[in-house]
Amino acid sequence: MTAVPTWFGPTDRPLFGWMHVPEDNRAAGAVVLCPPIARELAATQACYRLVAEKLSAAGMLAIRFDYDGTGDSTGVDLDPHRVESWLAGIGHAIDLARSCGAESVSLIGMRVGALLAAVVAARLGSIDAVVLWDPCESGRAFVRQEAALLRLLSNDHQGTGDGTELPGFVFSAETVSHLGSMAVPADGARPSRVLLLTRPDRQPATKLTDALGTEPDLAEAGGQELLLEVDPGSRETPHDVVTHIVSWLHTGNRASPRAVSISAQDSARVPFEGGRLTERAIRLGPAGLFAMVTEPDAPTGSPTILMLNAGNDWHVGPNRLWVDLSRRWAAAGFRCVRFDESGLGDSPARPEKSANVVRSPDAFDDVRDARVAVEPDDPTNVILVGLCSGGYQALEDALVRPTRAIYAINPVLHFAPPELDTGAMDPRRRICWPVSGLASTYRSWLAEPVRRRLRTVLWRSIHLLNRDRGRDASTWLDQLRTDRVEVLVVCSEDEARPFGTARTATLGPAARPDSIRLDVIEGLDGALMPAWQRAEVSRRLTDHLLGHFALAEAQPIAQVASA
């Protein structure tokens, strides 16, 4: 099997996607995967990749892609005509499949993606089969449920004008209205076959299949709660459902295998705030780590910016923040690279290693390889950016090999490294304090009012339990100072505790400027779900970047440290 990244669609608003090609370059038709939207989009990335890989192994061309304003594609949440652009994107993906030589095209859609797939199938016709995977009752119901979920997750969100804020995203009033009125046209074309997958505790969405006019095959969509409704680190792919979908499409496929011709476009000109930037899909290092590079037309010679995974999220970052920052900073002259560590997102796992392992020791090798790949003459000439596990890894990496700057958002320094399941902790870990049962209880079980009362006692206990002073912040922060690494940590009160302070401060002697700064934002969400928090973090990082590195020629860290 071969997975080929490509840009496609309109040249003025290009879309990004992947073509999964059977090994012999012969395909019995194609399948376009229509993703969910908003929070559910990130939750299904690994699942959709698995579906595409299994379809390819079964002899079909599979195409997965990002709608306009999502993932790596052009656009933002609040652009106009969102719903029509998503429907058009499915059409462009179908055109891409047919341009490769696919004899027939089928669609798979989950949640709102199922609604979009049904509308496109009825509008365009000539669709062989449609898989409706746990479809939403309506676009209006989806928005209502997601807005209620945000209120449940956080009461710390602010107004968004006439828009509606969902967890991690903001939809304009126009988008909400168009989602609410989206319907399968009554006189639309009928797909040849329909598979409707429904959660075991729900009634089948027969109104949607009735509108399509095709009697559906029915099956259960088991495991949706563990895919969509759990903490990101606990997501589980419903393998039995994936196998059933691929088998259903394969056994009912009437297309004959025929040669397909793949012509990929690895770069595109992406519009951003009145200008255009170049984005390229590349591979980094011997492990073939996937990365997206955003480049200005006239680089300033500033450091290259590397953005790390947050947990098992993909390279677009927390609620697509890395995409926004990449384009914003590239417009200011910086070369930005957002990449997937091995086994995460679109990067392969290293040989004999497991995929989807968060905080793996392999991350040390991944960051090293990425730094060498993007700055072969001086791997120290990079700025590392990360949230949560990515923020932690950025700090650790700077202690192994100096770097120009670290931007760490809510770095979690207390956790149980995965290698402890089979042996000792990796010796490269300098700042990780393996989490105690007390801290685990604090984070996972206790309600916020109780947590507030116990913070001081808890952190004193953790410091007493971890007597190795080499892991104390005062020790490793001094090394970063000596190496002249600029560090900006933006975090909540909880994540500030390991640094020894809970307010906005420099962490060095007050008598001189310090290269290390801690900014505490009260109530900062671990995943930056509220829109105002993403905007505030973006502002603070951008101000620091422009204030310290804009238009400045990069000087190798090795020379600075020895001066």
Q: Is the pLDDT of residue 227 over 80?
A: yes
pLDDT class for 232, splitting at 50, 70, 90? confident
pLDDT class for 558, splitting at 50, 70, 90? very low
Q: Which of 259, 280, 297 is the last residue of a domain?
A: 259
Clarify whether residues 369 and 238 are in a common domain. no
Clarify whether residues 223 and 289 are in a common domain. no
Strand order in the sheet with 193-198: 2-8, 15-21, 61-65, 30-34, 105-110, 127-133, 193-198, 217-220
Distances (CA, A) of 286 to 233, 338, 366: 27, 17, 10
Select the more confidently predicted residue: 349 or 446. 349
Q: Tell me: the pLDDT tens digits for 477-497?
A: 999 999 999 999 999 998 898
Q: Is the pLDDT of residue 441 over 70?
A: no
Clarify whether residues 211 and 342 are in a common domain. no
Tokens representing 384?
Answer: 């590392």
Q: Which of 259, 276, 303 is the last residue of a domain?
A: 259
Q: Is residue 466 included in any domain, yes or no?
A: no
pLDDT class for 454, splitting at 50, 70, 90? low
Domain that holds residue 33: 2-137+185-259
pLDDT at 442: 46
Percent of the chain with pLDDT over 90: 78
Clarify whether residues 37 and 10 are in a common domain. yes
Clarify whether residues 404 and 490 are in a common domain. yes
Rounded mean pLDDT, 265-275: 94
pLDDT at 177: 96
Is the separation of the CB atoms in 1 and 51 below 8 Å? Answer: no
CATH number at residue 281: 3.40.50.1820
Q: Rounded to the nearest 5 degrees, what angle is found at the Cα of 516, between the Cα atoms of 434 and 284?
A: 70
Q: Is the pLDDT of residue 553 over 50?
A: no
Rounded mean pLDDT, 502-531: 74
Q: Is residue 454 included in any domain, yes or no?
A: no
pLDDT at 509: 44
Query: Phi/psi at 90 (nearest 5 deg)?
Result: -60, -40
Structural domain count, the chain = 2
Provide the mean pLDDT of the chain: 89
Q: CA-to-CA distance for 239 and 222, rounded, in angstroms? A: 9
SS3 391: helix
pLDDT at 251: 94
pLDDT at 472: 77
Q: In this structure, which amino acid lies at residue 323?
A: V
pLDDT at 555: 43
pLDDT at 455: 53
Clarify whether residues 310 and 385 are in a common domain. yes
Clarify whether residues 207 and 248 are in a common domain. yes
Rounded mean pLDDT, 295-312: 90
Strands (E) across 120-183 are located at 127-133, 164-166, 169-171
Is the separation of the CB atoms in 65 and 265 below 8 Å? Answer: no
Q: Tell me: the pLDDT tens digits for 400-430?
A: 999 999 999 999 998 999 999 999 999 999 9
Q: Is the pLDDT of residue 562 over 50?
A: no
pLDDT at 117: 98
Q: Which of 243, 259, 275 is the last residue of a domain?
A: 259
Strands 127-133 and 105-110: parallel
pLDDT class for 302, splitting at 50, 70, 90? confident
Q: Is the pLDDT of residue 467 over 60?
A: no
pLDDT at 514: 80
pLDDT class for 551, splitting at 50, 70, 90? low
Q: Is the pLDDT of residue 556 over 80?
A: no
Q: Rounded to the nearest 5 degrees, what angle is found at the Cα of 546, between the Cα atoms of 412 and 297?
A: 110
Q: Is residue 166 included in any domain, yes or no?
A: no
Q: Tell me: the pLDDT tens digits for 112-155?
A: 999 999 999 999 989 999 999 999 989 999 999 999 998 887 76
pLDDT at 154: 72
Clarify whether residues 238 and 279 are in a common domain. no
pLDDT at 561: 34
Q: Is residue 17 included in any domain, yes or no?
A: yes
Select the more confidently predicted residue: 357 or 449. 357
Give the predicted TM-score (pTM) of the model. 0.90
Q: Is residue 343 included in any domain, yes or no?
A: yes
Q: Tell me: the pLDDT tens digits for 272-292?
A: 998 999 999 999 999 999 999
Q: Is residue 96 included in any domain, yes or no?
A: yes
pLDDT class for 159, splitting at 50, 70, 90? low
Is the separation of the CB atoms in 444 and 405 below 8 Å? Answer: no
Q: In this structure, which amino acid lies at residue 65?
A: F
Clarify whether residues 255 and 272 are in a common domain. no
Percent of the chain with pLDDT over 70: 87
DSSP 455-514: HHHHHHHHHHH---GGGSHHHHHHHHHHTT-EEEEEE-HHHHGGGT-SSSEESS-TTS--
What single DSSP character describes residue 505? E
Q: Is the pLDDT of residue 44 over 50?
A: yes
Rounded mean pLDDT, 320-349: 97
Q: Rounded to the nearest 5 degrees, what angle is found at the Cα of 321, between the Cα atoms of 334 and 95?
A: 95
Tokens representing 143?
Answer: 């928005």
